[in-house]
Structure 1
Amino acid sequence: MTKITRENISGADRFDTPKVLLLSICHFVHDIYSSFLAPLLPFIIEKFGLSLTQAGFMSTVMQLPAFLNPYIGKVADRTSLRYFIILAPVLTAVPMSLLGVAPSYGVILLLLFFAGISVSLFHVPAPVIVYRVAGTRTGRGMSFFMTGGELARTLGPITIVAAVSLFGFEGYYPIMIFGIVSSCVMFLKFKNMPVVIKQKEAPSIRRTCIEMKNLLLPLTGILFVRGFMHACLTAFLPVYIMQKNGDVWLAGIGLSLFETAGVVGILTVGGLSDRFGRKKLLQFCLIVAPLSLLLFSFSQGWLQLLLLLVTGFSLLSTTPVMLAMIQENSREGSSAANGVFMMVSFLARSAVVVVVGFVADKVGLETTYIICGLIGLTGILFVNTLEGTSPVLQQERE
């Protein structure tokens, strides 16, 4: 197997700011479309008369292509990564822009499945490129990259609510033009980008899982318990607000405020983990996030808004820390390792959101938020079992 290191790609162990920023911008463009589903849920539920369980299943369908993530990573380790990045905006923009004109619930599920394929094609190889152009500051690189995605999820709800307000739920589809144009721009920017990573032999997915089990198993537990908190806030927060006061703008703004706090958290925590350690920052976040969610469920007014911001800051900032851990503990940051992690991440969220929707149908969203906060508290148990670099990889590097 060809030895691939960051020095082979970037020429030094320095933080390559232009490349990291370019990847962050691409992440922003792509994820602004994939963030449309939650704000559109109230309209889809009303149009087709869906239950919350059916609404949650839509998110699950969008996550189903995550089963392919390890194999996408395996292919990415043997080919150029840039075309995955170039095509992602248009492949996500088109189906997400057609949800309003879908004639049935089944067609909506089909559109979301195609969008999910594009999400996988982008999110598996992109962090690998970030790792290889971030030098020794992996946490900071992942923070920059994830900021693009969180900014998209911050502006996405406002964007789609504005589009629906102007053109109607069935008339907002022209918004896809921005994704099409973005892919054209990305082609011009990326076609000569010297980040082409090829390996003669793709890494074994099974071997990757075995070598990284001491890291992957605790992270899997963290992803599942975090998924309950993530699902109730990102998938059902607009519905929760709509049920409370019927204000569609407030529903979109509430989700945007949550995501804005997440942007601040991602920029802060990823970089701090380079200095103070990944495990310590995860411990901090997975104590603060569930406690603030529980307090949010019992509070009112401005205090509730403040607690929503605290929850967003601590909950969403865990992602760049875990991405950094995966890349640092894999064979020179392979896409296969990232694919396994992304598969677990996406599937944890998709499976949990159906459970959350089902529970909400039975006991109501307010009680569901409390349950999710209590489950989130168990995340600290998994953090405490995290170990450092796997013995196999550590021995290989020494």
Structure 2
Amino acid sequence: MRAQVKEISLKAHQTTENASTMYHILFIIGFVHLLNDSIQAVVPAMFPILAESLGFNFTQLGLIAFAVNMTASIMQPLVGAFSDKHPMPKLLPIGLTFSLFGMLGLALAPSYGVILLSVMLLGVGSAAFHPEASKVAHMASGTRKGLGQSVFQVGGNAGQSLAPLITALILVPLGQLGAIWFTLVAFLAVMILVYISKWYGQQLTINQTRKRNSGEDAPTIGKSIKIAFVLLIFLVFIRQFYHAAITNYFAFHLIGTYGMRIDHAQIYIFLFLAAGAVGTFLGGPIADKIGMKNVLLFSMIGAAPLCIWLPYTGPKLSMVIITIIGFILLCSFSVSVVYAHQLLPGRIGMVSGMIIGFSFGLGAIGSIVIGWVGDQIGISTTLLYASFLPLLGIFTAYLPNENKIQELHKANLV
């Protein structure tokens, strides 16, 4: 009898979101994700400016990246787990308010310590935004979960891809003070999220009524599922470690090796991130055709040879190669989130916090490691070693496919 009750609960979670897709909510929350991540993108975009004007070394820059990402990563799973039990729609605009003050502090910071404090406020804002926003996207997706996460995540990746343009068009001519313009971006995001939080609150009321009537509860998670989730976290960590290497330090490789200007070097990072945004959007539909596990595997193993080749290419060819790498590497971005949701149904906030936040924060550790090693042996040599990281994606082969996940969940009902 107990197994039958659990099976009914599992089926309820699999069919809970059978409502129609709310496209306008999806596109709005995706747009706010773009605004949020464009604000976050100001931090790495400022690295060449801070290195040139304040004389920061690679280790100091790595610590700045570590501060913003680890603040967000440590808090996101905690916020997500808490909001799974106690949803907080108003946390969405509150979170972006923290980001607004963080950006103001970053623009006006007179010292290294104030910069660290300001980017930590940005991290708090990100931690508050992502778990709840991911749940909004999940709710608005209806039955089209892959599409919903693709729309939501491509907004974030598009925002991140603006970092090189921010450097070239705003920070190079205006310097550190140019970051103050992004307080207006944060204010716009806060206003939009006031509307989204009202819609989110209404949906929560509807869902809570349905859950009380159905007796639905989150299914118990077995050992095999937990192992698969830990492996997924590791793979996302490896992907983000390499991602941090490219976005934070590849411009320095181009400047040092080929004598490029800062604004020209940033074009390469823009191509990497823009192609990644396209890959993020197309990854979901591709996964619908060939399976999520196959996309996850292709994302790492397919990119690995190009990543190893990249440090040996010249300035013209590297522009092409880095674009292809961005597309392949990040086509698993939204897929990894949906895959994690399948592993742990009913824990959308916590799962989103782990995948989008915690694993990314672990990847930010790479910023410190790469920065410190770069100070010792040179950034170009360091990036050469980092290029072998995607080879670890071979462990994706040990992840269960979608059918196996359902079998594992059903086996745990007995």
Report the TM-score when normalising by structure 1. 0.89
Specify which of 24, 36, 39 is matched with residue 33 of structure 1. 39
Which aligned runs of 4 or more in structure 1 are off by greater than 4 angstroms?
Answer: 3-8, 197-201, 207-211, 395-398
Structure 2 counterparts to residues 254-265 of structure 1, below 5 A: 254-265=268-279
Give the structure 1 partner of residue 193 of structure 2. 186
Q: Distance in 2 between matches of 1:47 and 1:389?
A: 52
Matched residue type, 2:392: T
Deviates more, 1:337-346 or 1:292-301: 337-346
The answer on whether the counterparts of 1:139 and 1:271 sit within 8 Å (CA) in structure 2 is yes
Give the C-alpha shift of residue 246 in structure 1: 4.3
Matched residue type, 2:245: C
Specify which of 20, 23, 27 is matched with residue 29 of structure 2. 23
Give the C-alpha shift of residue 391 in structure 1: 6.1
Aligned residues: 394
Q: Distance in 2 between matches of 1:147 and 1:289?
A: 19
Give the structure 2 partner of residue 268 of structure 1. 282
The answer on whether the counterparts of 1:48 and 1:105 sit within 8 Å (CA) in structure 2 is no
> Going by fraction, where is helix more abundant, 1 or 2?
2
Specify which of 214, 234, 238 is matched with residue 221 of structure 1. 234
Give the C-alpha shift of residue 60 in structure 1: 0.9
Matched residue type, 2:409: L
Specify which of 317, 321, 324 is matched with residue 303 of structure 1. 317
Residues 168, 186 of structure 1: alpha-carbon distance in 2 compared, 3 angstrom cutoff: same
Q: Distance in 1 between matches of 2:347 and 2:144?
A: 14
Q: Distance in 1 between matches of 2:91 and 2:234?
A: 29
Give the structure 2 partner of residue 52 of structure 1. 58
1:86-132 deviation digits (Å, cap 9, x = unpaired):
33333223313432421111111111111111111112232233223
Residues 171, 302 of structure 1: alpha-carbon distance in 2 compared, 3 angstrom cutoff: closer
Give the C-alpha shift of residue 288 in structure 1: 2.0
Matched residue type, 1:227: Q
Q: Distance in 2 between matches of 1:210 and 1:120?
A: 28
Deviates more, 1:361-370 or 1:170-179: 170-179
In the alignment, is residue 285 of structure 1 matched against residue 285 of structure 2? no
1:252-300 deviation digits (Å, cap 9, x = unpaired):
3222111110111111112111221111111111112221122221111
1:228-254 deviation digits (Å, cap 9, x = unpaired):
311211111233333342412113322
Structure 2 counterparts to residues 107-146 of structure 1, below 5 A: 107-146=114-153
Give the C-alpha shift of residue 160 in structure 1: 4.6
Give the structure 2 partner of residue 69 of structure 1. 76
Q: Which runs of 5+ in 2 are unaligned?
A: 1-5
In the alignment, is residue 99 of structure 1 matched against residue 106 of structure 2? yes
Q: Distance in 2 between matches of 1:96 and 1:281?
A: 36
Report the TM-score when normalising by structure 2. 0.85
1:273-331 deviation digits (Å, cap 9, x = unpaired):
12211111111111122211222211113321110101100112222111011111213
Q: Distance in 2 between matches of 1:172 and 1:283?
A: 38
Specify which of 195, 198, 221 is matched with residue 203 of structure 2. 195
User: What percentage of aligned pairs have identical amino acids?
Assistant: 22
1:163-196 deviation digits (Å, cap 9, x = unpaired):
2244332354243123113312331354234332
Residues 105, 240 of structure 1: alpha-carbon distance in 2 compared, 3 angstrom cutoff: same
Q: Distance in 2 between matches of 1:55 and 1:364?
A: 15
Give the C-alpha shift of residue 390 in structure 1: 7.1
1:118-167 deviation digits (Å, cap 9, x = unpaired):
11111223223322332333222211111101111122431354222443
Specify which of 374, 388, 393 is matched with residue 374 of structure 1. 388
Q: Secondary structure at the match of 1:191?
A: helix
Question: RMSD of aligned C-alpha atoms?
Answer: 3.0
Residues 314, 397 of structure 1: alpha-carbon distance in 2 compared, 3 angstrom cutoff: farther
Structure 2 counterparts to residues 211-250 of structure 1, below 5 A: 212-243=225-256, 244-250=258-264
Matched residue type, 2:309: L
Matched residue type, 2:56: L
Give the C-alpha shift of residue 365 in structure 1: 2.0
Q: Which runs of 5+ in 1 are unaligned?
A: none
Which of the pair has more CA radius of gyration?
A: 2
